[in-house]
């Protein structure tokens, strides 16, 4: 099951353009993640853009921008015998600022990260996460035949789509339910391409609810 879940996560990231990864630390109130300007790709070396950043949303909302100390912005590898297998941002091999292990559900945040001048993002250095979201936040950096506005891929440990609802029963992402978190991303000039799509869904849901109330 772990392999299938991590495979689904990988497919949500590979060659999809700029994106956000957001993690909820299990047994903690910490919410954290990273933004990558470039598409994720599999390989044995670090790569990426100095526009990448790490962030925390709770208990404190803060953005840790890339430094000029090194260019270890992002890393992704699978099925390698002598290299770490998983998704990493910042730091060094086996000492990442943010690390999502290929054994799905396991993660690590190093006590410090020179690539992003960040402290330990999580409460515990080694931890499990009980919720993870991947957001597309920009245009793809290559040509595609069709214009695609794709909604966030919300993945839980079972590999199934995780849905959150507000008090009106409208499906939301955790970012929708946390205005402070959304404000941090918008402050950095990041806009969510799925926002307009979700707005239309919300209007449809509200209209249906109003019609049901009129009928009653």
Q: What is the mean pLDDT of each run of 10 residues along the chain (216 residues)?
A: 64 87 94 94 94 92 92 93 94 96 94 96 96 76 34 37 48 55 53 46 59 63
pLDDT (0 to 100) of residue 74: 97
pLDDT (0 to 100) of residue 137: 78
Helix, strand, coil percent values for the chain (each to nearest 5): 20, 30, 45
pLDDT (0 to 100) of residue 211: 63
Neighbours of 117 (CB within 10 A): 15
pLDDT (0 to 100) of residue 135: 85
pLDDT (0 to 100) of residue 77: 93
Overall size of the chain counted in residues: 216
- pTM to 2 decimal places: 0.70
Cis peptide before 187 (omega within 30 of 0): no
pLDDT (0 to 100) of residue 97: 98
* Beta strands in the chain, from DSSP E residues, in sequence order: 19-25, 31-36, 53-58, 62-65, 75-77, 86-92, 95-101, 106-108, 112-113, 118-119, 126-136, 153-155, 164-165, 171-172
- Give, rounded to a whole angstrom, the gap between the first and last alpha carbons of the chain: 45
Neighbours of 74 (CB within 10 A): 26
pLDDT (0 to 100) of residue 64: 94
d(CA 187, CA 194): 17
Neighbours of 52 (CB within 10 A): 21
pLDDT (0 to 100) of residue 179: 54
Domain residues for the domain of 146 are 2-215
**Number of domains making up the chain:** 1
């Amino acid at each position: 099951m772990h392999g299938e879940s991590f495979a689904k996560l990988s497919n949500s990231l590979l060659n999809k353009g700029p994106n956000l990864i957001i993690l909820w630390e299990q047994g903690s109130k910490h919410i954290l993640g990273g933004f990558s300007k470039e598409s994720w790709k599999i390989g044995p070396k670090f790569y990426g853009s100095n526009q990448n950043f790490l962030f925390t949303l709770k208990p404190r909302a803060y953005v840790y921008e890339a430094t000029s100390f090194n260019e270890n912005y992002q890393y992704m590898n699978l099925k390698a015998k002598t290299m770490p297998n998983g998704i990493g941002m910042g730091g060094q091999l086996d000492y990442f600022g943010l690390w999502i292990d290929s054994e799905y559900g396991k993660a690590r945040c190093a006590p410090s990260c020179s690539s992003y001048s960040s402290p330990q993002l999580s409460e515990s250095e080694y931890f499990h996460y009980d919720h993870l979201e991947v957001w597309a936040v920009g245009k793809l950096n290559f040509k595609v035949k069709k214009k695609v506005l794709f909604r966030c891929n919300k993945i839980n440990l079972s590999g199934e789509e995780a849905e959150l609802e507000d008090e009106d029963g409208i499906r939301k992402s955790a970012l929708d339910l946390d205005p402070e978190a959304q404000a941090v991303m918008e402050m950095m000039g990041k806009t969510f391409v799925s926002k307009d799509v979700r707005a239309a869904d919300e209007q449809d849901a509200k209209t249906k609810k109003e019609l049901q109330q009129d009928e009653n």
